[in-house]
Structure 1
Amino acid sequence: MSDSSGAEAADAATNSTTFEVIARAGFAMNGLLHVLIGVNAIHMVIAHGGRPSEAGVMSEISGLPGGFIALWVAFIALLALGVWQTLEVLFGRRYTSKRQRVLKKSSASGLAIIYIFLAVATASFALDDARRRESLSEKSQLSLELMQTTPGRLLLVVLGATIFGFGTFFIVKGLRRTHRKDLISATGVVGAAAVVLGTIGYIAKGAVICGAGTLVAYSAFAYNPDKAEGISAVFQTVRRQPYGPTLLTAAGVGLVCYGLYLGYRAKNGKMANDY
């Protein structure tokens, strides 16, 4: 397939109202996921319970009556949004400058990876919980094996630094409030509130991601694969610090704000379809 025919096919797909509605629902699903993670983080402080992570939330949903149906609905929406962003990476071409092209495609690449990963994770919970637990065990074993060699430890450090850089991007985006550009409209009381929620949310989300990256790198020297288990390890580590409960509550509130912003973006966010 030539680039022009591929672009035409992509344009036809993204001009589909049905496809756009499903893809927009991906933002809403991710928003709901972050709200639940944030609530679980706060619950960890109040009741010393909860599992504030994507895996923890999905596990709880899978245990509810009809939970597997909800997971499959989430899978379809998340995958659709991931595919939409992938089309932007492959065929997006109407940019005013080379800089805008790099920025737009980099952003779309990150979103494509995130949403396709979330879709795969959601499907794994819907399909086979036992297989998922086995996969998580293998992941910990892989981290432990990497820690046994110098190249493996360096790889974990590089991975941690990459994750930290990704978190820094979120923090900077929140501080500069560039997430406003992702919205069709940010006027009025609701629009202004959405921008504020996004500012708080991006900073909180970035801080959590930076924490995860730091722990991944630290795990290479501490020989502790549990530290490389993502945001769940971040919350557990923060919880044990002197000001842990306060920081954990702040992170939880921030993630709820991020989730609410994504909910607004689902309806009022810009969707690239300029192929």
Structure 2
Amino acid sequence: MTVEEQARDAQDSAALSWMARLGFAMYGVVYVVVGILAVQLALGRSSGKVSGEGALHELAHQPFGTALLVAAAAGLGAVTAWEVCEAIGGHTADDGARRWVARAGSVARAAVFAVLAWLAVRLILGEDCSSGGTEGHTARVMDLPFGPVIVTAAGLLVFAFGAHSAHEGLSDRWKKDLERGAGAGATGTLLTVTARAGHVARGVAFGMIGALLVWAAVTHDARRSAGLDQALRELRDTPAGPALLLAIAVGLGSYGVFNTAKAVVLRTRRP
């Protein structure tokens, strides 16, 4: 049996499939909380950092917060493994270079899920997850040989990810991971609206992050770099910022609703 076949068998196992569903559901909850935090930011009532880390902090302070974090850590860890299996043995419907691009996307998603799972574990253990932020990381990279080039490349990659997210939403490519018939009826309408709005909003948010990273490299000023929280705060401070931020906040929350619904209709077994 080849490595690809072993990966597909692992991915099709009942245990990993159901835990992956839990992971997508918790990922959706995280994005719903991010959307709520972004709404608060738009209304001038910010109570936390608008990011995945900030969302997990909010969950930790809710009733049964520890149980929520345990579910998040377990589910996100499982969906990380599921995406790794997808990267190794999945995307069989694609050919040639397109398959390798799709598998690279699975690796990127696995990395995102792994980071969130790691943050959840650290919060369960009572550790401080705060760090120097994007500004501190960017400053360290800028001090390296060819640092500005590296930061520019990173910014362009993040911007490209944002563009891909928006394209995936508008082109309905998100449907390929769902069970056949999931796009029909009232459930299908909910999935379509939340998926399109969510993917576009996420694309705009990450596009801003990428643009600010490139600008930081061009100006040699790491303070201009940004994570999601800082990028949204920069947007809020523009003339039409609060209204635009509110629209993005609703979109980010929609992306969370889509992922929670996706957990129910996820195609976990490949044809």
The question of a shared fold, defined as TM-score above 0.5 by the shorter chain, is answered with yes
Residues 149 and 214 of structure 1, relative CA distance in 2, 3 Å threshold: same
Distance 2:92 2:140 in 1: 46
CA separation of 1:122 and 1:210: change in aligned 2, threshold 3 A: same
Question: Which 10-residue stretch deviates more, 47-56 or 24-33?
Answer: 47-56
Please list the CA deviations of residues 137-183 of structure 1 after superposition, one character each: whole Å capped at 9, or x if unmatched: 27643422333466111111110111000111001111212212222
1:193 and 2:190 correspond? yes
After TM superposition, give the deviation of residue 94 of structure 1 in Å.
4.0
Amino acid at match of 1:122: A
CA 1:75 to 1:226, structure 2 compared with 1: closer, same or farther past 3 Å? farther
| 1:226–1:233 contact (8 Å) kept in structure 2 | no
Maintained 8 Å contact 2:205/2:248? yes
Instruction: Encode CA deviations 1:101-142: one digit per residue, 9 max, x unaligned.
Output: 335423322322221222122223323433x22xx1276434
1:193–1:63 Cα change, 3 Å: closer
Alignment-derived partner of residue 178 in structure 1? 173
Q: Which among 81, 96, 99 is matched to residue 98 of structure 1?
A: 96
Q: Name the counterpart of 1:218.
A: 215
Q: TM-score, normalised by structure 2?
A: 0.89
For 1:89 and 1:101, the matched residues in 2 are separated by 9
What code does the residue aligned with 1:18 have? A
Aligned to 2:248: 251
Using the size of structure 1 for normalisation, the TM-score is 0.87
How far has the Cα of 1:217 moved from its partner?
1.7
Q: Which structure 1 segments of 5+ residues have no match?
A: none
Corresponding position of 1:232: 229
**Percent identity (aligned):** 24
Whether 1:61 and 2:56 are equivalent positions in the alignment is: no
Residue pair 1:227, 1:233 contacting (<8 A) in 2 also:
no
Structure 1 residue ranges, 4+ long, deviating more than 4 angstroms after superposition: none
**Any conservation in 2 of the 1:88–1:272 contact (CA below 8 Å)?**
no
CA RMSD of aligned residues (A): 2.3
Q: Which residue pairs with 1:72 in the alignment?
A: 70
Q: Residues 68 and 220 from structure 1, CA distance in 2 versus in 1: closer, same or farther, beyond 3 angstroms?
A: farther
Match of 2:15 in 1: 18
Match of 1:86 in 2: 84
1:181 alignment partner AA: K
The letter for the 2-side match of 1:157 is T
Pairing partner for 2:268 from 263, 268, 271: 271
Cα gap change, 1:249/1:142 in structure 2, threshold over 3 Å: closer, same or farther? closer
Distance 1:253 1:93 in 2: 31
Deviates most, 37-46 or 137-146: 137-146
Q: Which moved more, 1:208-217 or 1:9-18?
A: 9-18
Deviates more, 1:113-122 or 1:232-241: 113-122
CA 1:110–1:141 in structure 2 vs 1: closer, same or farther (change >3 Å)? closer
Distance 1:225 1:103, change over 3 A: closer
Q: Are the structure 2 counterparts of residues 238 and 37 from structure 1 closer, same or farther at C-alpha, using a change threshold of 3 Å? A: same
Compare the two structures and name the one with the higher helix fraction. Answer: 1
Q: Which residue of 1 aligns with 2:157?
A: 162
The answer as to whether partners of 2:27 and 2:259 remain within 8 angstroms in 1 is yes
What is the Cα deviation at residue 248 of structure 1?
0.6
| Matched residue SS, 1:248 | helix
Partner of 1:117: 115
| Structure 2 counterpart of 1:145, from 104, 128, 140 | 140
From 28, 31, 37, the equivalent of 2:28 is 31
Q: Distance in 1 between matches of 2:39 and 2:220?
A: 29
Pair 189,142 (structure 1): closer, same or farther in 2 beyond 3 Å: closer
Residue 24 (structure 1) shift: 1.1
Q: Distance in 2 between matches of 1:16 and 1:116?
A: 20
